[in-house]
A and B are shown apart, each in its own frame.
Chain A
Amino acid sequence: MEVIHPSSLDEALDALTAHPGAVVLAGGTDLMVLVNCFGLRPEVVVAVRRVPELREIDGSFIGAGVTWARLEGAPWPALAQAARTVGSPQIRHTGTLGGNLGTASPAGDGLPFLAAADAVVEVASRAGGVRRLRWDEFLVGPKRNGLRPGELILGARLPGPPPRRQGFAKVGARNAMAIAVASACLLREEDGATRLALGSVGPTPLRARRAEEMISAERRPSPAAVAEFGRLVSEEVRPITDHRSTETYRRHAAGVLARRLLERCLA
């Protein structure tokens, strides 16, 4: 096994050009499970933990290599809340937002925020330069993303400043070390425009467009409107039954989470 330690983005892209089949290693919290428990034996590893460009974070861009521990202090409360629910302190010190994108699990805790914020995922390769994919062009299925061979995830860009009223909530078996049974992120503008994304209730994170449309028209939603919002969310999600939960419970939980987040934003 060859391990390449690029010290810059240029070197990382060169390494991936020379070895398009290489495995990219950042925090390792997903990859090493495949090594330890599923016999993954990569031939070439490009270890990007020390690439400075991937560790950058500013007002509208989050580098793929930014760890959850750092995102706990992110300027976006919903993302900070999501970061705090990732794994354990040990996992959060190494795991990265880019790992959520690379793994593309529907349960990725950082993904509902990106979906609600209409984030654009930036990827790059030597041959293709920088490509920008809307979150739903990048997250195309369970554990499937739009990355091409030789491409590296640079990070996520937010198209505009998210509104002040925002929140994230998650249901799992316990507070720590829990893969989401259902999760939700809600952003609400001062004029009522509302965006709601849900995790673990479909093949990818998904937006509840009908519920969004209904509640966005309500400047001061009545209790009945809030309840209807939750009901629409339960109707709109597309969960499955698996070893973690049932379709019925996930539908119910998605509606409850959405309603609670809305109530918090209205308070």
Chain B
Amino acid sequence: MIIRLTVNGTRQSVEVDGPESLLHTLRERLGLPGSKNACEQGECGSCTVLLDGEPVCSCLVMAADADGADVVTVEGLAGPAGALHPVQQALLDEGAVQCGFCTPGVVVSAAHLLSINPRPAPDEVREALAGNLCRCTGYGAIVRALAGPAGEAP
């Protein structure tokens, strides 16, 4: 079936197959591999996208049910001229990226957190990122980055 949705501000029509996940549609059909595919059961958060403004695991969204939705992936967060999102800059500044696999999901979850809570406390960062697993155990640097400078960004 064909679904219509807005991805990173661009309207898209895309043919999806059966109950495939939105993650599959984004990565394999729309050429947006920023959202990562790992556990496929909502445990790891590496596929986190904003669905109608809220962070969700795109592996648990049936693409057919995202018909009409507004989706923002990690690719849609940087500015038009490629300027990094404040969350991306903060992670970079703090050295909060190691292998990088969890980073896109972390960035999307954190961007949502800062949009509703511009100056989160460390515990608020931890809670907002509770669904994003980092197996390099880089949480210390991630929390420092987000409860620090990015928390003061506009």
Q: A3-B1, A176-B130 are in contact. Are A37 and B40 (CB under 8 A)?
A: yes
Q: In the assembled complex, which residues on chain B have CB atoms less than 8 Å from the CB atom of A40?
A: 19
Q: Cβ of B18 and Cβ of A175 under 8 Å apart?
A: no
Q: Cβ of B64 and Cβ of A36 under 8 Å apart?
A: no
The complex places the Cα of A36 from the Cα of B58 at a distance, in Å, of 12
Number of residues on chain B facing chain A (CB within 8 A):
28
Q: Cβ of A29 and Cβ of B43 under 8 Å apart?
A: no
Q: In the assembled complex, which residues on chain B have CB atoms less than 8 Å from the CB atom of A27?
A: 60
A225 CB within 8 Å of chain B: no
Q: Cβ of B64 and Cβ of A28 under 8 Å apart?
A: no
- The contact of A25 among B1, B65, B128, B132, by CB within 8 Å, is B65
Q: Cβ of A89 and Cβ of B64 under 8 Å apart?
A: no
B42 CB within 8 Å of chain A: yes
Q: Cβ of B130 and Cβ of A47 under 8 Å apart?
A: no
The complex places the Cα of A69 from the Cα of B60 at a distance, in Å, of 16
Interface string of A34-65 (1 = CB under 8 A from B): 01110011100101010000000000000000
* A170: min CB distance to chain B, Å: 14
Q: In the assembled complex, which residues on chain B have CB atoms less than 8 Å from the CB atom of A25?
A: 62, 65
Q: Cβ of A36 and Cβ of B131 under 8 Å apart?
A: no
Interface string of A192-221 (1 = CB under 8 A from B): 000000000000000000000000000000
Q: A28-B61, A94-B61 are in contact. Are A1 and B19 (CB under 8 A)?
A: yes
Q: Cβ of A90 and Cβ of B57 under 8 Å apart?
A: yes
Which residues of A from 14 to 44 have beta carbons under 8 Å from B? 25, 27-29, 31-33, 35-37, 40-42
Considering only CB atoms, which chain A residue lies closest to B67 in the complex?
A5
Q: Which residues of B contact A (CB under 8 A)?
A: 1, 18-19, 21, 40-43, 45, 48, 51, 54-57, 59-62, 64-65, 67, 109, 127-128, 130-132
